Amino acid sequence: MSNNPRSSTTHDVVICGGGLAGLTLARQLGREQPELRVAVVEPSRRPLPMVTHKVGESTVEVGTNYLAHTLGLKPYLDAEHLPKNGLRFFSGDNRGPFVDRVEFGPFEFPPVPSYQLDRGKLENDLRAMVEEHVDLREGVKVSRVELAESGSDDPHRVVIEGDDGEQTLSTRWVVDATGRRHLLRRQLDLGAPSRIDASSSWFRVPEKVDVAELVDASEERWHTRDNHGNRWLSTNHLTGPGYWVWIIPLAGDHTSIGIVAETEHHPFETFHTLEKSLEWLAEHEPALAKRLEGVEASDFLVRKQYSYSGKRFLSTDRWAAVGEAAFFTDPLYSQGTDYITFANTYTARAIREDREGTLSEELVSLANQFMLRLFEANEDILARSGNVFRHADVFGTKLLWDYYYYWAFMAAWYFNRVYAMDVERQRRFLALGDEYARVSRYIQETARAWAELRQHDGWKARTHVGLPDTLSVITDLHMQLDVQKDPDAAEARMREDLEGAKEFAAEVLYRALIGVGPENAAELARRVDLASWDLPLDGARVALQEGSRVARRGGFSRVARDLERLMGHPPGNGTPLARLLEQALGRRVEAPGLQARA
Amino acid sequence: MTRDEIHDTVVEILSDSFELDRADIKLESTLYEDLDLDSIDAVDIFVQLRSVTGRRPDPAKAKEIRTVDELITFVEEELAAAERGDPEPDVQLPDGSTPPE
């Protein structure tokens, strides 16, 4: 601490809470800044129970990269935890035969890996790993945090209470990793509401529940198309009107089953007990309910209206809130560990710069802005999605966009180490992020209106949508995460992918218009406020919609082609797309490339 | 699967995926000229065929295929390879490298 004698403090960093967020931050600090004196204060003692400790943690690319490489846990994760076979969704008629549900998911393990973590095991093991270099206080509770006066250089005081009574730690930095105890959030009034209004219930069963068991063995093609019989290692989602259900494997042949439902469609009281959850499954997911008959649940947990936001997570006053202490968006897309990754990484950078005397308000403000934008982006993606889950064509199209967005922007931020770049460059990335967010809002609003106004199937149901191995825009976005890029190349790539994002939004609009037909084209335009959009709509492309396959192939952008490959060519109902667009815009779109502006 | 069954499956995949008339898909039809497919279509054929063979296709072998007949033979060989438990080819990143361990 450049201007604060270390002798006046007992620690450089006190982390309140030793769950996943706190322990990973402790390990990160230990690896990157080994000279720091770090304490972790955690009320629970080892051994933590396996399997039922906390809701299973399923990682996606960012969180995986953080755990595996930044924290150096790859050999440990490979040896001790389950590999994850990507995200897998079964959409379409929720009460019909399971074999007829449209499946969105990989044929085999994706090249950029992820894991199904056992939280009890991981947290036991992380404690053992960090206690070598960290002052780990187990069975000790944080009674209160007395923050130094804002702007001062005085130490913070953390009052803790354990078997030996009360003790006060004095520290340069204090980090709230207390999860839903929300230590600093309460104290500093950091909370903010979320636009996501949904609740969840979940339970674990002491056996392997393989989604493949929901389909008869005689359906050979269905079983073969999962190349290695590893569907059960995916985070499996069954989607239906207003809800989705998860089936997630846990270590030791246990399985986690959860219901996530929007309040508007499914009041919490319809599934807030185990008995009601099972009845609920019997009604909405009969194939799964049948599989679970006679199976005893090992536990049952609920979270009513689980989503919440925050005003900020990091301060030049030397405090931070990481993990669920700061934000919780939604369990869909398994992004909990991603939030931990970003918050921990910016916190570690702020602690380092503070020691070096270079910590600026600009960096802290940028980090806070980034986390808030991340939260808002996920709110845009997930709030009021209940009707989107109802239809496989709408949901599948939206899902492909959500992947595009995640890989092109959110994951790219981490894989390209944007967080480590200078503030000025990060601001440019953030401005690009605003452009992505705008395009994403167009797409999410269009998907919602499409789901609500849908008249025509417009879609010959594909039974399995998996990404191609190569020559696909969306696959390339996933694969290029592991290709090292310098900051200029990373920025250029993100900018280039933004153009593809705009094409994507236009394609979603075209598909939605075909889906809602001439009856509802104008109403769709009204609901999404199409007149205010700033997006290039290409008249030449629109005219190709009714052309032959070869003509479309010759004239489509790579993004348009990708969507057609994955989601099929919507046959329409006889009204040309150009006419539908005219109804939606109230005027003609001429070739080529007129802007759809107000 | 018999060769006839493979034939029917291949014809079904080609006609469903590429809006082709089944009658136009003959054993001697060339994929790129007669059926007017391109390299992206070829990738998609092999994506669809994974649900038949249960294996990741070998890009080098796939590149050699010119006709419907050769495609059927390819599926036959892949099914035999799956039966034998032959290892699958490596995944390649866009820059030609393989993903890090």
Read out DSSP for B32-64? TTTS---HHHHHHHHHHHHHHH-S---HHHHHT
Please check whether residues A232 and A341 belong to one and the same domain.
no
Rounded to a whole number, what is the distance in Å from the CA of B52 to chain A's nearest CA?
6
Q: Give residue A197's identity as a one-letter amino acid code.
A: D
Domain boundary among A287, A303, A319: A303
Residues facing A244 on adjacent strands: A239, A260
Locate the chain A residue with the closest alpha carbon to B93: A479
Choose among A227, A479, A549: nearest Cβ to B50: A227
With an 8 Å Cβ cutoff, are A471 and B40 in contact?
Answer: yes
- pLDDT on residue A8: 75
**Does residue A276 sit in the same domain as residue A319?**
no
Question: In this predicted structure, what is the pLDDT of residue A467?
Answer: 85
A467: phi then psi, degrees, rounded to nearest 5? -75, 140
CB contacts, 8 Å: B18 with chain A: 549
Instruction: Let me know if A280 is exposed, middle or buried by CB neighbors in 10 A (0-12, 13-18, 19+).
Output: buried
A480 contacts in chain B (CB < 8 Å): 93-94
Other CB atoms closer than 10 Å to residue A134's CB: what's the count? 23
Positions in chain A short of pLDDT 70: 1-7, 51-53, 55-56, 457-461, 590-598
A105 within some domain: no
Q: Which residue has the tokens 């998911």?
A: A105
Touching check for A46 and chain B: CB below 8 Å? no
- CA A461, A462, A465, A471 dihedral sign is negative
Cβ pair B93:A471 closer than 8 A? no
State the pLDDT at residue A3: 46
Packed helices A361-382 and A392-405: angle between N→C axes, nearest 10 degrees: 170
B51, B54, B94 member nearest A464 (Cβ): B51
Tens digit of pLDDT for each residue in B45-79?
988 898 899 888 887 888 899 999 999 999 999 99
Backbone angles phi, psi at A545, to 5 degrees: -55, -40
Task: Please judge whether A471 and B39 are an interchain contact, meaning their C-beta atoms are less than 8 angstroms apart.
Answer: yes
A/B interface, count of CB pairs below 8 Å: 69
> What is the least distance, in Å, from the CA of B24 to any CA of chain A?
15
Exposure pattern of A235-245 as b/e (b: 16+ CB <10 Å)? bbbbbbbbbbb
Q: How many angstroms separate the CA atoms of A580 and A570, rounded?
A: 14
The CA distance from B40 to A565, in Å, is: 9
Please report whether residue A58 resides in a domain.
Answer: no
Percent of chain B residues past pLDDT 70, beyond the cut: 90
CB contact under 8 A, B43 and A468: yes
Instruction: For an interface test with B, give the residue of A470, A481, A493, A556 to mutate (most B CBs within 10 A).
Output: A470
Amino acid B91: pLDDT? 72
For residues A479 and A589, membership in a common domain is answered with yes
Whose tokens are 């070096």? That residue is A356
Query: How far, in Å, CA of A361 to CA of A367, rounded?
Result: 10
Whether residues A175 and A220 fall in one domain: no
| Final residue before a domain boundary, out of A259, A280, A303 | A303
Nearest neighbour of A482 by CB, restricted to B40, B56, B100: B100
Residues A550 and A582 in one domain: yes
Q: Which residues pair with A97 in a beta bridge?
A: none
- DSSP per position, A13-48: EEEE--SHHHHHHHHHHHHH-TTS-EEEEESS-SSP
By DSSP bridging, strand A102-104 and strand A87-91 are antiparallel
How is A52-104 classified by DSSP, letter by letter?
SSSS-EE--HHHHHIIIIIS--HHHHHHHSEE---EEEEES-SSS-GGGSEEE
Q: Under an 8 Å CB criterion, which residues of B touch A?
A: 18-19, 36, 38-41, 43-44, 46-47, 50-56, 59, 91-95, 97, 99-101
* For chain B, domain boundaries: 3-84
The CATH architecture assigned to B3-84 reads Orthogonal Bundle (1.10)
**A451 is written with which tokens?**
């789901």
If one counts every other C-beta atom within 10 angstroms of the C-beta of residue A8, the result is 12
Rounded-to-integer distance, Cα A445 and Cα A440, Å? 8
**Chain A positions in Cβ-Cβ contact with residue B101 (cut-off 8 Å):** 74
Residues A575 and A505 in one domain: yes
Chain B hits for A110, CB-CB cut-off 8 Å, are: none
Specify whether the CB–CB gap between A159 and A168 falls below 8 A.
yes
A550 shares contact with chain B (CB less than 8 Å): yes
Of the residues A108, A546, A561, the best mutation for testing chain B's interface (the one with the most B CB atoms within 10 Å of its CB) is A108
Give dist(CA A152, CA A555) in Å, integer: 63
* B59 neighbourhood in chain A, CB within 8 Å: 469-470
> What span, in angstroms and rounded, lies between the C-alpha atoms of A276 and A269?
8
Q: How much is the CA Rg of chain A, to the nearest whole Å? A: 25
User: Which among A466, A469, A549 has the least Cβ separation from residue B19?
Assistant: A549
**Cβ–Cβ under 8 Å, residues A323 and A21:** yes
Is the pLDDT confidence value at B97 over 50? yes
A471 at B interface, C-beta within 8 A? yes
Q: By three-state DSSP, how is residue A558 classified?
A: helix
In chain B, residues with a C-beta closer than 8 Å to the C-beta of A464 are 51
Assess if residue A420 is contained within a domain: no
Q: Do A565 and B44 touch (CB under 8 A)?
A: yes
Confidence at residue A575, expressed as pLDDT on a 0 to 100 scale: 94
Q: Which residue in chain A is spatially nearest to B49 when comparing CA positions?
A: A225
> For B58-67, b where at least 16 C-beta lie within 10 A, e where not — what string?
beeebeebeb
- In this complex, do B56 and A228 lie within 8 Å of one another by their Cβ atoms? no
In degrees and rounded to multiples of 5, residue A90 shows phi and psi of -120, 115
Identify whether A576 is part of a domain: yes
A228 in contact with B at a CB cutoff of 8 Å?
A: yes
Chain A closest-CA separation from residue B8 CA (Å)? 14
pLDDT of residue B15: 93
Q: What span, in angstroms and rounded, lies between the C-alpha atoms of B65 and B76? A: 13
The answer to whether position A372 is within a domain reads no
Task: Give the span between the Cα atoms of A252 and A208, in whole angstroms.
Answer: 9
Going by the DSSP 8-state scheme, the letter that residue A66 receives in this structure is I
Residues 6+ apart with CB under 8 A from A463: A100, A102, A103, A222
The whole-angstrom distance between A464's CA and the closest CA on chain B is: 9
Q: Which residues of B touch A483 (CB under 8 A)?
A: 93-95, 97
Structure tokens at A500: 């593809």
| pLDDT for the residue B48 | 87
- pLDDT for the residue numbered A457: 66
Nearest-CA distance from A225 to chain B in Å? 4
Number of domains in chain A: 3
Q: Are residues A145 and A235 part of one domain?
A: no
Residues A216 and A338: beta-carbon distance below 8 Å: no
For residue B57, say if its preceding peptide bond is cis, omega within 30 degrees of 0: no
By residue range, what is the domain housing residue A174?
A: 6-51+118-188+311-360
